[in-house]
Amino acid sequence: MNWLLKARPVSTFLSASVFAGALLAGGSALAQSFPSKPVSLVVPYPAGGVSDVIARSLNNTLAKHLGQPVLVENLGGAGGGIAAQKVLNAPADGYMIFQGSPNELVLSPLTNAAIKYKAEDFRLVQMITINPLVMLARKDLPASNGDELMAYARKTAAEGKPMTYASVGPGSLYHLLGAHMSQLTGVPMTHVPYKGGAPATQDLLAGQVDIFMTPYSKSQVAMVEEGKLKAPAVLSAERQDMFSKVPTLNESKALKGFVFETWAGFFVRKNTPEPVVQALHKALSEVANDPAVRAALEAQAMIVPRPLGLSDLDKLYADNTARYRAIARDMHLQPQ
């Protein structure tokens, strides 16, 4: 290939050098000028749910690190797909950040035919929380552990009234969990989708739906302690501090090995300029290390992991995408 180099005139290399220098200078200028206006933090569920709690626990701190207001925008629907699509429709300039998880970006496109984006259209800029999952139930559900729950589910299915489970939309993780539980046990259950965790919890309080597998905050813990809701089980491998008396599904015979958790992070469009991604990554990493933010999120039963570098985040997101696609494929889930 040396002859190709020799055949090129010197002016070509000079032009290339000037062009490369211009790109570096432009990237540096872009990083220094970003942001020059308010930034939107798009939450894919209505106000009042766990995702909203995360956003409002840190948006003011993020604003201080960015030097611009950070406005929380709640936009529920389609298992988070409506909010995600809005971010994709906006310019790839970093001024619209999506707060989400594999739930909205990996699973929703696999099961909702109306969603046209794919996970690879987004880039993970930083993780913020790992969220344990709990199974909440209407207060009068006659089950206090996984085995009692499945016995009740079999009984109601045999009577032609399958147990109902809520989710935050078709294709969401919580839809997948209910469908997976039904498939593993061979017990029919009825999926009831909502636009977010808050309306699902309201119907659970009203006794309109039987169970809801979901991440939780302190408000849900209080509802269980006050007897407004029941918590038959948690989905973690071990019992959880805020639900210390609640057994895991893993302790049951019927659902041993049924262990899941979820996480939340911040995403931008895949083609967002690298200097902007780096500026956001730096600010979000500082937010994740902020003692007040960590304390606020940990008080809501969330785990705040140490910030990761961009290359580690790329791998994490790719690995999660592959894992959830494999589960959906094994369950033969199809877009509807």
Report pLDDT for 332. 79
Counting residues of the chain whose pLDDT is more than 70, the rounded percentage is 90
Report pLDDT for 333. 75
Report pLDDT for 304. 95
Say if strands 229-234 and 122-138 run parallel, antiparallel, or are unpaired. antiparallel
Report pLDDT for 330. 80
Counting residues of the chain whose pLDDT is more than 90, the rounded percentage is 73
Report pLDDT for 324. 86
* Per-residue pLDDT band at 31 (split at 50, 70, 90): low
Report pLDDT for 29. 56
User: Does the pLDDT value for residue 268 go beyond 60?
Assistant: yes
Helical H runs in 47-118? 50-66, 81-89, 102, 108-111
3-state secondary structure of 9: coil
CA-wise closest residue to 311 among 287, 286, 277, 335? 277
* Per-residue pLDDT band at 30 (split at 50, 70, 90): low
- Tell me if 37-130+263-330 shares its fold with 132-261: yes
Report pLDDT for 250. 96
Over residues 42-85, the pLDDT tens digits come to 999 989 888 999 999 999 999 999 999 999 999 998 889 999 99
| Cβ contact 49:198 at 8 Å | yes
CA-wise closest residue to 144 among 259, 199, 224, 226? 224
Report pLDDT for 253. 96
User: Does the pLDDT value for residue 315 go beyond 80?
Assistant: yes
Report pLDDT for 327. 80
More confident residue, 4 or 214: 214
pTM of the model: 0.78
Amino acid at 206: A
Range 166-193 average pLDDT:
92
Over residues 235-248, the pLDDT tens digits come to 999 999 999 999 99
Range 94-115 average pLDDT:
92
User: Does the pLDDT value for residue 311 go beyond 50?
Assistant: yes
| Cβ contact 267:123 at 8 Å | yes
User: Does the pLDDT value for residue 16 go beyond 70?
Assistant: no
User: Does the pLDDT value for residue 288 go beyond 80?
Assistant: yes
User: Does the pLDDT value for residue 21 go beyond 50?
Assistant: no
User: Does the pLDDT value for residue 103 go beyond 90?
Assistant: no
* Per-residue pLDDT band at 19 (split at 50, 70, 90): very low
Q: Give the least confident one: 13-22, 60-69, 189-198, 289-298.
A: 13-22
Domain boundaries, given as residue ranges, for the chain: 37-130+263-330, 132-261
Distances (CA, A) of 34 to 39, 154, 210: 10, 57, 47
Q: In this structure, which CATH number among 3.40.190.150, 3.30.70.20, 3.40.50.300, 1.10.10.10 belongs to the domain 37-130+263-330?
A: 3.40.190.150
- State the fold for domain 132-261: D-Maltodextrin-Binding Protein; domain 2 (3.40.190)
Distance CA 92, CA 298 (A): 32
Amino acid at 36: S
